[in-house]
Amino acid sequence: MKVNTLLQQHASTVYTRAMFEKFGEVLYEGALVEEVEKGVKYLVHQYHPERHDKWCWVLLYAAAVMDKGAEVSCECGNFEHMGLLCCHVLKVLDFMGFTKIPAKHIMKRCTKDVRDVLPEHLTHLQRDQISVNSITFRHSDLYKHAMEVVRLGDA
């Protein structure tokens, strides 16, 4: 973890390694939060827009908090596009003192529990369902024994 905040700790328990690394890059890109309407509307000033693509060189973004923090939106649309909250929303959440990412903004495909939603023909591969009789277990066990025989043959 680059910065040991409660938001980052929560992200480390939820996201996969690749998504957590992206989250860490986005978390503190640098922005200044200005409160327009307490608990509802915020303006986020972007630092160093030249580090981003030319199409996102906007210096001011509006972020809105709805349902007492259950949902957050930003006019940049990064969450809708990529499934990861933008630095503007993360800065607002940090400014408001949130300790967890709102559940509505955690995409199942980006979490460690993504294997819980497998199609019917792959349910035997779920994390808690793998048994000694499964095809995957037998395959890996057979492969391990075959490689042992190959090593003995080489010796």
Work out how many domains the chain is built from and give that number: 2
In a domain, 132, yes or no: yes
**Domain identity same for 20 and 50:** yes
**Domain identity same for 105 and 122:** no
**Domain identity same for 126 and 52:** no
**Domain identity same for 80 and 139:** no
**Domain identity same for 95 and 132:** no
**Domain identity same for 103 and 134:** no
Name the pTM for this structure. Answer: 0.64
Percent of the chain with pLDDT strictly greater than 90: 7
Sheet of strand 71-74, all strands in order from the earlier edge strand to the far edge = 31-37, 41-46, 60-66, 71-74
**Domain identity same for 28 and 69:** yes
**Domain identity same for 71 and 138:** no
**Domain identity same for 44 and 96:** yes
**Domain identity same for 40 and 94:** yes
Residue 57 pLDDT: 54
Range of the domain at 75: 6-110
DSSP annotation string for the chain: --S--HHHHHHHHHB-HHHHHHHHHHHTS-EEEEEEETTTEEEEEES-GGGS-GGG--SEEEEEEEGGGTEEEETT-HHHHHSS--HHHHHHHHHHT--S--GGG--GGGBTTGGGG--GGGGGGSTTT--TTSHHHHHHHHHHHHHHHHHHHH-
pLDDT, tens only, 51-98 = 666 666 566 778 888 887 788 888 887 788 888 888 888 888 888 888
